Amino acid sequence: MPEPVTLANARLILPDGEMTGRITLEQGEIAEIGEGTEVPARAIDCGGDYVAPGLVELHTDNLERHIRPRPKVHWPYAAALSAHDAELAACGITTVFDAIRAGSLKAQGDASWVRYARDLADEMLAARARGALKISHHLHLRAEICSHTLIEELDEFGEDDRVGIVSLMDHTPGQRQFADLKQYETYMRGKHGLDQETFDTHVRTRMALGEEVRAPHEAAAVEAAARFKAALASHDDTTPDHVARSKAHGVALAEFPTTRAAAQACRDAGIAVMMGAPNLIRGASHSGNVSALELARDGLLDILSSDYVPSALLFSAVRLGEIWEDLPRAMETVTATPARAVGLTDRGALAEGLRADVIRFSTHEGVPSVQGVWSAGQRVA
């Protein structure tokens, strides 16, 4: 176990507000929290910096970015995991649900759709078992509904894999996030460099595949989540009808609803609303969907995710604290609330007896700077 450490003279972000005080980490847990500016012998003087719970990330594309840093470039999984792990730790993220796509396309000719979920999960689980990772990693299977191999890929996983989230992802052109085909064309042709004929063929074949497999694949993903004892998430709900379908499936978490109407329907249905931190920082969605800032101001935002920019998670919480004029409430969107959404009760708050996942940060003109990160009491950044 790591040596005990005390962070003193800090602005502690507690479940019920802020307090100037100290926190002691011992044997992987938060051993003591005290009030005052005193700096005991051998303690770290934080000089008034914030000390908060480690961040909990439920959906990030960052690992996929590391395994495929360029089109047609496939990076060794072990090296990608190590770099991804270190990057997240440096950003203050101490718990991550690594989003891995399950469901591939046959004879697609697109290297981004090759089958990889089981192999990458095995590499991650092995790294975790040998203590090679700095932070706490869990599996998030993105069940790609519009694919050929979803069911057989889901069957490769079991309860021992500790899958924490299964999300229902339907990227069929004309559906959900891609309901606007012109937006979809801009996205696909810009990202993959498709010419018009190739894009048109892609749309026709994907739409036909979606119609063929949507119902059985959705049912298989819902069943798999129950088998894994994982939280079930929906992705890109666009209409109240989508939300009603999600509720019928037992969805607990809505990832990135694309409209205000869908977000309101989620709130009415008791489904937690998660939005992207980059969306909030930019003040708008990069794909033309509802603004996270709008939902935050309307009280319809529960959880933030870094999505495709790991450093955005803490930045967005600080920005949200300014918007709400309540930093402790904002920090809960990246700590306690995501932890509860996936059934983690041992982290997400500064409280005695909880796991010693702690970050220290300062701010300058609203931008946070991470000064230290501890995962289970071990300094990792």
pLDDT of residue 206: 75
pLDDT per position as a tens digit, 189-200 = 556 666 777 767
Inform me whether the pLDDT recorded for 90 exceeds 60: yes
Higher pLDDT, 363 or 208: 363
Please, what is the average pLDDT of the chain?
92
Task: Give Cβ neighbours of residue 262 (< 8 Å, ≥ 6 apart).
Answer: 237, 238, 239, 240, 242, 243, 254, 290
Distance CA 167, CA 141 (A): 6
* Confidence band for 379, pLDDT divided at 50, 70 and 90: very high
DSSP element (H, E) containing 287:
none
Radius of gyration of the chain (CA): 21
pLDDT of residue 232: 98
Number of separate helices (H) and strands (E) present in the chain: 13, 16
Q: What is the amino acid identity at position 253?
A: L
Locate 370 and state its tokens: 């991470």
Task: Give Cβ neighbours of residue 322 (< 8 Å, ≥ 6 apart).
Answer: 366
* Confidence band for 173, pLDDT divided at 50, 70 and 90: low
137 within 8 A of 164, measured Cβ to Cβ: no
20 within 8 A of 10, measured Cβ to Cβ: yes
pLDDT of residue 222: 97
* Confidence band for 73, pLDDT divided at 50, 70 and 90: confident
* Confidence band for 178, pLDDT divided at 50, 70 and 90: low
Distance CA 266, CA 302 (A): 11
Torsion from C-alpha of 132, 142, 172, 313, nearest 10 degrees: -70
Inform me whether the pLDDT recorded for 94 exceeds 60: yes
Q: How confident is the model over 123-149, as a mean pLDDT?
A: 95
Whole-number Cα distances in Å, 252 to 167, 291, 341, 346: 10, 21, 7, 19
Q: How confident is the model over 336-347, as a mean pLDDT?
A: 97
pLDDT of residue 105: 83
pLDDT of residue 318: 98
Task: Give Cβ neighbours of residue 281 (< 8 Å, ≥ 6 apart).
Answer: 312, 315, 316, 319
Inform me whether the pLDDT recorded for 211 exceeds 90: no
pLDDT of residue 180: 63
pLDDT of residue 4: 96
Q: Which of 328, 266, 322 is nearest to 297 (CA)?
A: 322
Instruction: Classify residue 70 by its DSSP letter.
Output: B
* Confidence band for 32, pLDDT divided at 50, 70 and 90: very high
* Confidence band for 213, pLDDT divided at 50, 70 and 90: confident
Share of the chain above pLDDT 90, in %: 78
Q: How confident is the model over 238-246, as a mean pLDDT?
A: 94
CATH topology identical between 1-53+348-381 and 55-346: no
Torsion sign (Cα): 322, 323, 328, 332 = negative
Distance CA 102, CA 259 (A): 26
Q: How confident is the model over 94-107, as a mean pLDDT?
A: 91
Query: Domain 55-346 adopts which CATH fold?
Result: TIM Barrel (3.20.20)
pLDDT of residue 251: 97
Locate 148 and state its tokens: 């050929």
pTM here is 0.92
* Confidence band for 70, pLDDT divided at 50, 70 and 90: confident
Which CATH number is associated with domain 1-53+348-381?
2.30.40.10
* Confidence band for 281, pLDDT divided at 50, 70 and 90: very high
Inform me whether the pLDDT recorded for 183 exceeds 70: no
Three-class secondary structure of residue 101 per DSSP = strand
pLDDT per position as a tens digit, 282-324 = 988 876 789 999 999 999 999 999 999 999 999 999 999 999 9
Beta bridge partners of residue 98, listed in sequence order:
60, 139
Q: What is the amino acid identity at position 192?
A: H
Task: Give Cβ neighbours of residue 278 (< 8 Å, ≥ 6 apart).
Answer: 286, 306, 307, 308, 309, 312, 316
Inform me whether the pLDDT recorded for 376 exceeds 90: yes
Inform me whether the pLDDT recorded for 112 exceeds 60: no
Q: How confident is the model over 101-117, as a mean pLDDT?
A: 76
- Angle of CA points 98, 70, 119, to nearest 5°: 40
Inform me whether the pLDDT recorded for 207 exceeds 90: no
* Confidence band for 18, pLDDT divided at 50, 70 and 90: very high
Inform me whether the pLDDT recorded for 182 exceeds 90: no
Inform me whether the pLDDT recorded for 54 exceeds 80: yes
Domain ranges of the chain: 1-53+348-381, 55-346
Let me know how long the chain is.
381
Inform me whether the pLDDT recorded for 205 exceeds 70: yes
pLDDT of residue 341: 97
Inform me whether the pLDDT recorded for 175 exceeds 80: no
Q: What is the amino acid identity at position 262?
A: A
